[in-house]
Amino acid sequence: MRDLGRASVQIVHDLKNQINGLKLYATFLRKRLDKAGRPADELETVAKLLAGLERAATDMNLLVRYGRPLTLRPAPRGDLAKMLSAAIGDEVKIKVGGHTFTGDFDTAALTEALRDITDGALHSRVHAGDAKGLLEIGLSRDESGGAPHAVIEWAGVKHAAAEDLFHSFAGSHGMRMALAAKIIRAHDGDATHEADKLRVTLPLSKDEE
């Protein structure tokens, strides 16, 4: 299974390179048609072709990243609350406990993971026909197991399918969710989907007050 996985990742990597080559040809064709004043339907067709190739290349890149080992660059005393705020922007509010949340985190990788989890949660609600409901995100601290952990929860995540959103691999959002979970696990954390809630746990600095 391991050899098959490695071979599959290499095949996808090669296909991605071929698609990138096709994108160059399609871009050249679009510019040539544009200069020649071709009909709008021809230009629209080439634009759709380019968009499809771009989506395919992006999805393949996600699969290649998922299939290869992660290389993290953690820095001490990273502020998880700031990363979460940067990841979700201003559209979704965060309910934060009265503590600070610092640990040894790769800021870029973890911010990407938190952003993709939030996007996946929002997408699942739209797909399930519940885009109007409120997505609630909470950040709290748990010391019940001895070592401090941060707990991030996305509540009110409704979805049409019954599978775990972190392991569905359904489309681009599913691949991003799976990669996000892998990034979380590489930080010695965990990502789970329980009913209508997504939960991420991450270890915090032991000397945090």
Q: pTM for this one?
A: 0.78
Does 24 share its domain with 124?
A: no
- The CATH number linked to 151 is 3.30.565.10
Instruction: Considering only residues 78 and 170, tell me which one the structure prediction assigns the higher pLDDT.
Output: 78
Note the Cα 70 to chain centre separation in Å. 14
Residue 209 lies in a domain: no
Whole-number Å distance between alpha carbons of 63 and 11: 11
- For the chain, what is the domain count? 2
Whether residue 152 is contained in a domain is answered as yes
Positive or negative CA dihedral for 192, 198, 201, 202? Answer: positive
- The average pLDDT across 51-73 equals 86
Is 170 found in the same domain as 144? yes
Domain that holds residue 50: 2-67
In a domain, 208, yes or no: no
134 pLDDT band, cuts 50/70/90, is: low
Mean pLDDT of all residues in the chain?
A: 84
pLDDT in tens, 105-128: 999 999 999 999 999 888 887 655
In this structure, is residue 114 part of a structural domain? yes
Determine the average pLDDT of the residues in 95-112: 91
